[in-house]
Each structure stands twice: as structure tokens, then as C-alpha cells.
Amino acid sequence: MNAKVVVVGSLNMDLVARAQRLPRGGETLAGESFFTVPGGKGANQAVAAARLGASVAMVGNVGDDAYGQQLRRALEVEGIDCQGVGVCSGVSSGVALIVVDAASQNAIVIIPGGNGLLGPESVRRFDSLLQQAEVIICQLEVPTATVAWTLARGRELGKKVILNPAPASGPLPVEWFAHIDYLIPNESEAEALAGLPVNDLDSARRAGRRLRKMGAGKVIVTLGAQGALLVDDGEGRHFPAPEVEAVDTTAAGDTFVGGFAAGLARGLPEEQAIIVGQRAAALSVTRAGAQPSIPYLRELTP
Ligand code: RIB
């Protein structure tokens, strides 16, 4: 199988606690429930792309522990090519400690584990996967040098290159932008990258235009319940979000990115691919957890 979508990124085991509200600094709070599910932005995006119709390969690292085996297995059962998922001895797998409150908002602490050891050479070893891909996706939970190398290589190979700049707390290296076809930040990431406040459609458009001036191809700002905004060299377009009752927003952004990439890989026009990502993300927030919440193509309303 030639993977049309290759994801270079993180795999985490998510340890999820639900509580009425998020704890304040120094506070101990009684929660309501606890569960453990496979997550990690890279792995979530790979699962989303696979469930939404693409053939997918993952390049990443796990530790030599039980979580690592479970994380790899979770991708294999989706038919994802895991030859590029390495096992690092002597380190833990990536872990995310997640608290979800009654309003379905979350707070996350990441321990990178094996993700932190994914060097550019780990990706270079699987260059044949990149060569066969149509779409290459990166996020920011693996070392910066690896993201930089992959974006540049994707551009050199003429692939569609997507960067989901998550998590982002400041500007990106400016030389990255010329390698990116689709930059897909959420509101806070757009704000951090563009250095402009983002709190509504107009401010998202301004940030998107600033990021395009910095060199990014097209920018899609995801705005949660307000939908998504495509910023291109024309008027752009706002895609209002389907109305849903959210129970857990974890991995909604990942579902959007994976669904959009799958749509592109299946040959859909860009705007249709955005709608696929958006419908899938809307469904994902009605379910708990990262990978378990991601829908299959057959579940999306036409
Ligand atoms: O985007 C959601 C993901 O962020 C979670 O699955 C968690 O692992 C963190 O990486």
C-alpha cells in the first residue's frame, strides 16, 4: 500500500480525569472519572485521516513500555503503516495528563518521552514514505529540527505540506513558512504566530493575512464553535461549524486536520476537504477521549 498521507509527529497515552472545573495552582480537587486512551497530536491526526478515507503512514517514536505497545497497536488496527514508528529503549512513551471540566474545556500537560527523541535522521530513514505521499502533516510535539527538516523535504518533493502549529506559544522560524502549503492554527496559535490578538472572524482574518505575508501558502484558522476561516489570496471563506452538544473537545483540532488531509488525498477540492474535516471534528466533540472520539467517514452526514 502506498500511503497518501504521511504524518510525522507524536504518540501519547492520554491519562484523562474529568472534574467539574479545572484546578487552580496549588489546589487539590476531587474529580469524577478517569480513563486512559491513545492520543498524541500526530497519532490522532493519522487515525483521523485513516478513518476518513486515506491510506496513512506514521513516523514517530514510542518508549519501550506497555503504553508504547498499546499506542502502536491502536494505529495498526486502523490499517496505518507503522514501519516508521520506532521504539526507544530506556525512555517512557509520551504521556499527556488531561483534565476535562464540565464545560468540556481541557488543560493538558505533556511529557514527551520517546517523542522527544524523534530526530531528523529518524524521518530521513523513511524518506521512501515521504516520496510516495501526496500529503505530509507535521505538528509541534516532536523536536523543532525534525519539523524543520520534514517541512523542507516535503516542499523539495513537491508534496502538499500541512503544518498544524500545535502547541505553539510564540513565533515560528520564519524560513519555515515558505515550505508550508496549509498552515492550520487555532485561535491562540494564530495569535502567538502572527503576534496579533485573535478573538473573532475579523481578527482571525488579519492574523491569517499576516501569516501569509510571512510566506505561508494558505491559512485555515480553526475557531471552535465559530467554525473555520480559510485565508487565501482572494476573499477567503468562512465555514460555520455544525451545531453540536460538546462533551469533550480533546482532539477536535486533530480530527479537523486529519479529515482535511484525507479529503485532499482523496482528490476532493480544498473547500470540500475543509467541510469533511469540520463535520468530523463536530462529531468528535460529542464523544469523550482523543482517538475513541474520531468518527469514520460512514458516520458523516452527506
Ligand atoms: O490534541 C489533543 C492531544 O494533545 C491529546 O491526545 C494529547 O495527547 C495531546 O498531545
> Could you give the strand order of the β-sheet that contains 5-8, starting from the edge strand earlier in sequence?
81-88, 56-63, 5-8, 135-138, 160-163, 182-183, 218-222, 228-231, 237-239
Question: 10 alpha carbon to ligand 1 midpoint, in Å?
Answer: 9
Ligand 1 pocket list (CB less than 6 A): 10, 12, 14, 39-41, 44, 96, 108, 110, 141, 250-251, 253-254, 290
pLDDT in tens, 159-189: 999 999 999 988 999 999 999 999 999 999 9
Nearest CA to ligand 1 atom 10: 40
Strands 94-100 and 106-111 come out as antiparallel
Band of the pLDDT at 234, cuts 50, 70, 90?
A: confident
Question: 233 alpha carbon to ligand 1 midpoint, in Å?
Answer: 32
Nearest CA to ligand 1 atom 2: 251
Which residues are known to be catalytic? 254
Q: What is the best residue among 13, 99, 108, 249 to mutate for testing ligand 1's pocket, by most ligand atoms within 8 Å of CB?
A: 108
Question: Residues near 254 by Cβ (< 8 Å), separated by ≥ 6?
Answer: 41, 44, 45, 48, 164, 290, 294
Distance CA 5, CA 54 (A): 7
Neighbours of 193 (CB within 10 A): 24
Q: Looking at the predicted structure, is the pLDDT value of residue 220 above 70?
A: yes
Question: Residues near 290 by Cβ (< 8 Å), separated by ≥ 6?
Answer: 14, 37, 38, 39, 40, 44, 250, 251, 254
Q: What is the best residue among 13, 36, 41 to mutate for testing ligand 1's pocket, by most ligand atoms within 8 Å of CB?
A: 41
Judge whether 129 and 57 are in contact, CB under 8 Å.
yes
* Residue ranges of domains in the chain, CATH in brackets: 5-11+41-90+120-293 (3.40.1190.20)
Atom of ligand 1 nearest to the CA of 10: 10
Q: What is the best residue among 250, 255, 284 to mutate for testing ligand 1's pocket, by most ligand atoms within 8 Å of CB?
A: 250
**Residue 8 host element (H or E):** strand 5-8
pLDDT in tens, 87-138: 999 999 999 999 999 998 889 999 999 999 999 999 999 999 999 999 999 9
Nearest CA to ligand 1 atom 1: 251
Band of the pLDDT at 1, cuts 50, 70, 90?
A: low
> Could you give the strand order of the β-sheet that contains 12-18, starting from the edge strand earlier in sequence?
33-39, 12-18, 94-100, 106-111
Question: 7 alpha carbon to ligand 1 midpoint, in Å?
Answer: 15
Residue 136's identity, in one-letter code, is I
Distance CA 260, CA 2 (A): 19
Strands 94-100 and 12-18 come out as parallel
Q: Is 186 helix (H, G, I), strand (E, B) or coil?
A: strand
Predicted pLDDT of residue 236: 87
Distance CA 199, CA 216 (A): 21
Nearest CA to ligand 1 atom 6: 39
Question: 110 alpha carbon to ligand 1 midpoint, in Å?
Answer: 8
- Whether pTM exceeds 0.85: yes
Q: Looking at the predicted structure, is the pLDDT value of residue 242 above 90?
A: yes
Atom of ligand 1 nearest to the CA of 291: 6
